[in-house]
Amino acid sequence: MEVYALIGRSGTGKSYKAYMVAKEKDVKYIIDDGLLICGTRILAGRSAKRESTRLAAVRRALFRDEKHRDSVKKAISELKPERVLVLGTSFKMVELITRALDLPYPSKPIYINDVSTDGEIYEAMKSRKIDGKHVIPVPAVEIKKDFSGYFIDSLKIFKKKEKSLYVTEKTIIRPTFSYLGRYEISKNALSQIIEFSVQGIEGIAKVKRIKVDNSDEGISITMELIVNLKRRLDLVLTDVQKQLVEKLEYQTGLNVEKVNVYAIGLQW
């Protein structure tokens, strides 16, 4: 396996340039910000930008969490990529990531100044500092006007106090994919995805009602279920929450903030 490294300080536009570099080097898989990405999909991992503290974000980006690290290692082992592009703020960071994931030593470093002009780097840093915008190289999905949901492309990362101001950083996804057009999902389709995502969970007899609400932080889902008595009720409802979050975020890119599940009837 060949491992390329794209290196640049935070906010210099590495993620924005990642696909250009990947295409040029014929690399299909990118490791960025705690994620394993291929084409338009996040295959494994969890974004460091979803952590509530900067320390937790750093640990996530370096794959210090065992469960997180093992899930990405498993995906890489199954995919057996010929080439991988790893993004980092320094060569040392890339070394730590490759070591954590048992990847070969990064022998092909590429620096952001090699692929971006001074003007592009300046604009990227300005966008990060003033607007709090961060790019990760996966496409956004838009929800139709009758249901405007909250996506990774407006994901709140963390707040830090600077004087009397609070700076909120957001992840922007669309720029490198704008030429592909728009992606839309209707409320009806979203409800069907939600219902389909919980099918097969032992203990669920029927989905009676699904309600989705928007907020600045994400979407909140409320489900009412008929359950059977094959398993403990709390285990059934917990499984619904976990599987729904995992499958819905993977399928749609939506940020699921909350899942409330109610058992409104029993079936023997």
Q: Which domain holds residue 260?
A: 186-267
Which one of 130, 154, 180 terminates a domain? 180
73 pLDDT above the threshold of 90 = yes
Q: Which of 117, 176, 136 is nearest to 49 (CA)?
A: 136
The residue with tokens 């094959």 is 230
Q: Are residues 146 and 103 in the same domain?
A: yes
With a pLDDT cut of 70, the percent of the chain lying above it is 74
Q: Which of 25, 26, 6 is nearest to 16 (CA)?
A: 6
pLDDT per residue over 181-193, tens digit each?
556 677 778 888 8
Q: With bands split at pLDDT 50, 70 and 90, how would you rate the model's confidence at 141?
A: very low
Instruction: Work out the average pLDDT over 244-249.
Output: 84
Q: Are residues 156 and 229 in the same domain?
A: no
Q: With bands split at pLDDT 50, 70 and 90, how would you rate the model's confidence at 217?
A: low
Q: Are residues 53 and 150 in the same domain?
A: yes
221 pLDDT above the threshold of 60 = yes
Q: Tell which wins on pLDDT, 169 or 222.
A: 222
Residues 184-198 as b/e (b if ≥16 CB within 10 A, e otherwise) read: ebeeeebbebbeebb
**H or E stretch at 69:** helix 66-79
The residue with tokens 């750093």 is 58
Which one of 156, 180, 204 terminates a domain? 180
Count CB atoms within 10 A of the CB of residue 11: 17
170 pLDDT above the threshold of 50 = no
Note the pLDDT of residue 53: 77
Q: With bands split at pLDDT 50, 70 and 90, how would you rate the model's confidence at 164?
A: very low
Instruction: Work out the average pLDDT over 118-128.
Output: 70
Q: Which of 257, 142, 122 is nearest to 190 (CA)?
A: 142
